[in-house]
Amino acid sequence: MIRISIAVWALLVTLLAGAVADEATEYDLKAAYLLNFAAYVEWPSPPKPVTVCVYGNNPFKAATIAALLNAKSGQIDAVFKYPRQLEYLTVCNILFWPQSEQGNFGKATALLNNAPILIVTDVQDGLPQGAMINLITESKHLRFEINIGTVLASKLKISSKLLKLAKIVS
Amino acid sequence: MLDNSAPTELKHRLKLSTAALLLNFCPQIFAVEVNDMSRMDLEQLMTVELETVTASKYNQKLSETASSVTVVGKDQIQQFGYRTLSDVLRTVPGFFITNNREYDNAGIRGFDQSADYNGRMLVMIDGIRMNEAIYDSGFTDNALPIDMDLVERVEIVRGPGSSLYGNNAFFAVVNVITKLGKDYQGGELGGSWSSFDSYKGRASYGRKLDNGLDFLASASGFNSAGQSLQIPEAASPSNPLGASSGANNEHDKQFFAKANWGNFSFEGGYGRRFKGIPGGIFGVDLGPPASSLQDSEAFVNLQYQKALSPKLDFTARTFYGDYDYKGQFRYGGLLVNNLTHAWWTGLEMRLLSSHFDGHKILVGAEAQENWQLQQYADIGPPISVSQDDSRDTHRIGIFVQDDVDLTERLKLSLGARFDDNSLSSQSMFSPRVGLVYQALADTVLKLQYGKAFRSPTIAQQFYTVYGIPNQTANTGLQPEQIDTVSLTWEQAFAGDWHFTATGYYLKQNKRLGVEEIAGFSHAVNLSGDVGYGGEFELQRRWDNGALLRTGYSLIFAEDQDPVGSAPGILGNVPRHLYQLNFMTPLFSPKWRGGFDMQVLSSRMGLQSNTPGYTRVGLNLLYQPITYLDLSAGVYDLLDDNRLEPGGIYGIPQEGRTFRLKFQCRF
């Protein structure tokens, strides 16, 4: 009897303890990178605010984006948009292409054809497919590669500080 | 573990690491909370570490490991009040702990290892093998040369690990990962008082310097008068209850030091555990004088790790180990004196390449020379030497593993190790195949087949003693082998819940067991055992630090040996194992509570049956200021874990005990 009552008690405590909030995941970190990139990029005509687009299946949690925008509100003026169709991408200043949408990536970069949009992705081998920044995992850390050629062609300017942090592919 | 990341954000990283968390399933979990992360700039973000397990000798994401894994972090060790590795393991699916008043022993997937000194489990500290060279013991009590307060996390990988680690990685691999100096940035003093006049003290100092040198040093001591017992086997007309002399005392010491600098890391430790054996247990005299045993183990590891190119990592390490055992057993006025000593040196090298697209290839070689393995025994009075053997042995292993990304969602892991042991004429080949399939965004399926082995110990092959228990050597022993197939389903749901289910089937061949003929016992290769069952684990962590980890294991294990015991019956297998661990902040962030429970069903033994038990632990942690932790804990609150298998009547356990503990930092 006592065993059952303990098990029930333990279950109750478990259910009652629901202070629900989210734990930092891989994509929370990627979202933070994405927003922080805005501080290192100059567009031909400075956007206000910077429109950060996440295409297709949104891997980011709304709570994380809200926390990020709130924490960075003094430094970075940005909004997040979640277009699901390729033709809406032209409004973006930063475009994030998640791994889950890998199939369409080449098509999208071809379509955008040197538009002044910072294209960031975590698909495998994103750079040859037209990405400017590719997020990669390396020795337990999240790192990124920059394709300078693609950046130059788009008339975006990337600060040397960002280049210093990146692994550069010319 | 080496840390090559930018050293600029020292203070910040310290804070992050104190929030270290791990869940079994998440694709990746960071030691950082969303709110902290939001405020970081890019440079700081780049220092955030992805948490990974070392089940494959290189860091790999949890969900990409084909094995079934549980990770227990330092926050759990503190909040549940775990005192030893045994305390951690007893909360993990598939594991249960027995204590025979000599050692703690881990039962895994139904197989009790009490007679085996945990030789069917590989225990490592930071990837360094701890199973010593005489009995292959993988200690989980205080004989393990590390204080649990220094542990960052414990990684428990169920299933075979011989394809990477060779000998002893039979049922499971347990890797104890220690903290770094940067986790301390100063000194820490700890002390505790617990039941049976037990005192423990610890002093630690760790720091990461601006030049990148990270170091940690620590010393611990434990003294316990121990519980007085009643052993029915020892009852006599003059002592009808079989009250033991109370020689159940324990005296332990542990020293540990590590340092990382650039590509080099050094680590060393020493542990010594003296344990009095209560009269009556295993038929030893009531005393005084009492019987006792003492295990000492030391290890030193020097490692060099360098990225030769962006796609090629090189690791070399050289290691030294020393093990010493002194056993004094008194039977009917005769003293059996056991002195055992071994020391070993070794070298391991490995290369990890990602040159080929979609492949991660690991190749390596490991060699260990065991010098002067001494086994001495005498019996008296009058003293006659019944055993005095000294010999050198070695083991050499080469291994290769290829983790292949077949598609975006399907990963294949192929591995194999070839081992040569000078004690055995037979070379061992241990292959492993794993498939990891990301079926849906929140669903991962893993299929694994692996072969593992355990070599006969030098004690089984070359130890003979004639006394009350006559034990004879058997030089004809062969390694035992195990084939294991497992299927694991990992599912995340409702955001933060993680569910893991594993089904397994295992078959042991040439099991090393004991045969007794006319009062003489010796180790033999029996034909084998079969085990199958399921392990289910449900986890959730809340943002406020609360955690739920609960598991159920259904266990079947059968002896297939027509000789010896009746076929079909394997001793002391619990059919059901249920574990619940829940910790949460209470009242305010300064107060934290931990509740853990293990329910074990009854075990049918060959000599006696052991009733099931419900073992409950409660621990309350109070941190009035940042620099001070106070905690109070009760173990086996219901006083229900009273008996563990052994002898005819079973071995009495401690029952309900208490502990008060403090830690302060400066």
Q: What is the mean pLDDT of residues A58-67?
A: 82
* Closest Cβ–Cβ partner in A23, A25, A162 for B543: A23
Task: Please list every residue in chain B whose beta carbon sits closer than 8 Å to the beta carbon of residue A23.
Answer: 21, 23, 26, 29, 33-34, 496, 541, 543
- pLDDT the model gives residue B423: 81
C-alpha span between A66 and B83 (Å, rounded): 41
Q: What is the mean pLDDT of residues B140-155?
A: 96
* Closest Cβ–Cβ partner in B41, B50, B548 for A140: B50
- pLDDT the model gives residue B486: 96
C-alpha span between B19 and B17 (Å, rounded): 5
CA distance A53 to chain B (A): 19
C-alpha span between B373 and B370 (Å, rounded): 7
Contact A141 B49 (CB under 8 A): yes
Domain layout of chain B by residue ranges: 7-665
The answer to whether B49 touches B31, Cβ cutoff 8 Å, is yes
The answer to whether A135 touches A33, Cβ cutoff 8 Å, is yes
Among B235-244, B435-444, B653-662, which stretch is predicted with the lowest mean pLDDT?
B235-244
Contact B48 A137 (CB under 8 A): no
Task: Please list every residue in chain A whose beta carbon sits closer than 8 Å to the beta carbon of residue B28.
Answer: 25-26, 137
Among B236-245, B351-360, B421-430, B652-661, which stretch is predicted with the lowest mean pLDDT?
B236-245
Q: Is B542 on the interface with A (CB under 8 A)?
A: yes
Higher-pLDDT residue of B4 and A54 is: A54
Task: Please list every residue in chain A whose beta carbon sits closer than 8 Å to the beta carbon of residue B49.
Answer: 140-141
Higher-pLDDT residue of B145 and A164 is: B145
- pLDDT the model gives residue B566: 54
- At B150 the three-state DSSP class reads helix
Mind listing the pLDDT tens digit for each residue in B313-345? 899 999 999 999 999 998 888 898 999 999 999
Contact B408 A29 (CB under 8 A): no
C-alpha span between B453 and B401 (Å, rounded): 18
Contact B546 A17 (CB under 8 A): yes
- pLDDT the model gives residue B447: 95
- pLDDT the model gives residue B528: 82
Suggest the residue from B2, B38, B552 to mutate for an interface test with chain A (most A CBs closer than 10 A).
B38
- At B568 the three-state DSSP class reads coil
Could you tell me which of B298, B253, B74, B70 has the C-alpha nearest to residue B177?
B74
Could you tell me which of B105, B95, B166 has the C-alpha nearest to residue B138?
B105
What is the band of B506 on the pLDDT scale with cuts at 50, 70, 90? very high
- pLDDT the model gives residue A6: 56
Highest mean pLDDT among B264-278, B350-364, B605-619: B264-278
**pLDDT reading at B253 higher than 90:** yes
**pLDDT reading at B6 higher than 70:** no
Contact B582 A14 (CB under 8 A): yes
* Closest Cβ–Cβ partner in B46, B441, B638 for A165: B46
Determine phi and psi for B481, rounding to 5 degrees. Answer: -130, 155
Contact B597 A7 (CB under 8 A): yes
Q: What is the mean pLDDT of residues B17-32?
A: 33
Mind listing the pLDDT tens digit for each residue in A117-129? 999 999 888 888 8
Higher-pLDDT residue of B407 and B543 is: B407
Q: What is the mean pLDDT of residues B130-152?
A: 96
The answer to whether B577 touches B650, Cβ cutoff 8 Å, is no
Q: What is the mean pLDDT of residues B436-461?
A: 91
CA distance A113 to chain B (A): 27
Determine phi and psi for B427, rounding to 5 degrees. Answer: -90, 150
Mind listing the pLDDT tens digit for each residue in B257-295? 999 998 899 999 999 999 999 887 777 888 778 899 999
Per the listing, tokens 């995941």 go with: A25
**pLDDT reading at B5 higher than 70:** no
Q: What is the mean pLDDT of residues B20-38?
A: 48
Averaged confidence pLDDT in chain B: 87
Structure tokens at B97: 């702990």
The answer to whether B303 touches B316, Cβ cutoff 8 Å, is yes
Mind listing the pLDDT tens digit for each residue in A65-89? 888 898 888 888 999 988 888 878 8
Among A150-154, B104-108, B559-563, which stretch is predicted with the lowest mean pLDDT?
B559-563
Q: What is this model's ipTM?
A: 0.83
CATH topology of domain B7-665: Maltoporin; Chain A (2.40.170)
Contact B34 A6 (CB under 8 A): no
Could you tell me which of B253, B263, B197, B190 has the C-alpha nearest to residue B221?
B253
Averaged confidence pLDDT in chain A: 81
SS (H, E, C) chain A: CHHHHHHHHHHHHHHHCCCCCCCCEHHHHHHHHHHHHHHHEECCCCCCCEEEEECCCCCCCHHHHHHHHHHCCCCCCEEEECCCCHHHHHHCCEEEECHHHHHHHHHHHHHHCCCCCEEEECCCCCHHHCCCEEEEEECCEEEEEEEHHHHHHCCCEECHHHHHHCEEEC
Task: Please list every residue in chain B whose beta carbon sits closer than 8 Å to the beta carbon of residue A70.
Answer: 38
- pLDDT the model gives residue B592: 94
Residue of chain B whose Cα is closest to the Cα of A99:
B408
* Domains, chain A, with CATH or none: 21-169 (3.40.50.2300)
Structure tokens at B455: 């070599």
Give the DSSP letter of residue B114.
G
Structure tokens at A50: 């910077």
- pLDDT the model gives residue B604: 87
Mind listing the pLDDT tens digit for each residue in B159-204? 999 999 999 999 999 999 999 998 898 999 999 999 999 999 999 9
- At B461 the three-state DSSP class reads helix
Mind listing the pLDDT tens digit for each residue in B463-473? 877 766 678 88
Contact A124 B408 (CB under 8 A): yes
Contact B30 A24 (CB under 8 A): yes
**pLDDT reading at B84 higher than 60:** yes
**pLDDT reading at B152 higher than 80:** yes
- pLDDT the model gives residue B18: 26
**pLDDT reading at A4 higher than 60:** no
Mind listing the pLDDT tens digit for each residue in B399-410? 999 999 898 789
Per-residue buried b or exposed e for A27-57, using 16+ beta carbons within 10 Å of the residue's own CB: bbbbbbbbbbbbbbbebeeebeebbbbbbbe
* Closest Cβ–Cβ partner in A13, A39, A64 for B582: A13
- pLDDT the model gives residue B564: 54
Mind listing the pLDDT tens digit for each residue in B409-421? 899 999 999 999 8
Residue of chain B whose Cα is closest to the Cα of A143:
B46
CA distance B127 to chain A (A): 17
Could you tell me which of B159, B168, B167, B178 has the C-alpha nearest to residue B55?
B159
**pLDDT reading at A22 higher than 70:** no
List Cβ neighbours of B462 (8 Å cut-off, separation of 6 or more): B375, B389, B391, B473, B475
Task: Please list every residue in chain B whose beta carbon sits closer than 8 Å to the beta carbon of residue A19.
Answer: 542-544, 546
**pLDDT reading at B426 higher than 90:** no
A149-158: long-range pairs with CB below 8 Å, 24+ = A150/A119, A151/A118, A153/A114, A154/A114, A154/A115, A154/A116, A154/A117, A155/A44, A155/A114, A155/A116, A156/A41, A156/A42, A156/A43, A156/A44, A156/A116, A156/A118, A156/A132, A157/A41, A157/A42, A158/A40, A158/A41, A158/A42
